[in-house]
Amino acid sequence: MRIGIIGSGPVGQALAKAFLSEGYDVMLGTRNVIKPELVKFNAENKAVAIGNFAEAAQFGEMIVLATGGLVARDAIKLAGHANFSGKIVIDTTNPIAKEPPVNGVLKYFTSLDESLMERIQKELPDAKLVKAFNSVGNALMYRPGFKGGPPSMFICGDDEEAKKKVTAILRSFGWEAEDMGKVEAARAIEPLCMLWCIPGFLSNHWTTHAFKLLKK
Ligand X SMILES: NC(=O)c1ccc[n+]([C@@H]2O[C@H](COP(=O)([O-])OP(=O)(O)OC[C@H]3O[C@@H](n4cnc5c(N)ncnc54)[C@H](OP(=O)(O)O)[C@@H]3O)[C@@H](O)[C@H]2O)c1
Read out DSSP for 78-126? HH-GGGGTT-EEEE----B-SSPPBTTBPPBSS-TT--HHHHHHHHSTT
Cβ 83 vs Cβ 58: under 8 Å: yes
Nearest distance in Å: CB 120, ligand X = 11
Nearest distance in Å: CB 215, ligand X = 24
Residue number, 1 or 71, with CB nearest to ligand X: 71
Residue nearest to ligand X (CB): 9
Residue number, 102 or 216, with CB nearest to ligand X: 102
Cβ 154 vs Cβ 189: under 8 Å: yes
Residue number, 99 or 160, with CB nearest to ligand X: 99
Nearest distance in Å: CB 216, ligand X = 29
Judged by the rule CB under 6 A, the positions of this chain that interact with ligand X are: 7-12, 30-32, 66-69, 71, 74-75, 92-94, 96, 133-134, 137-138
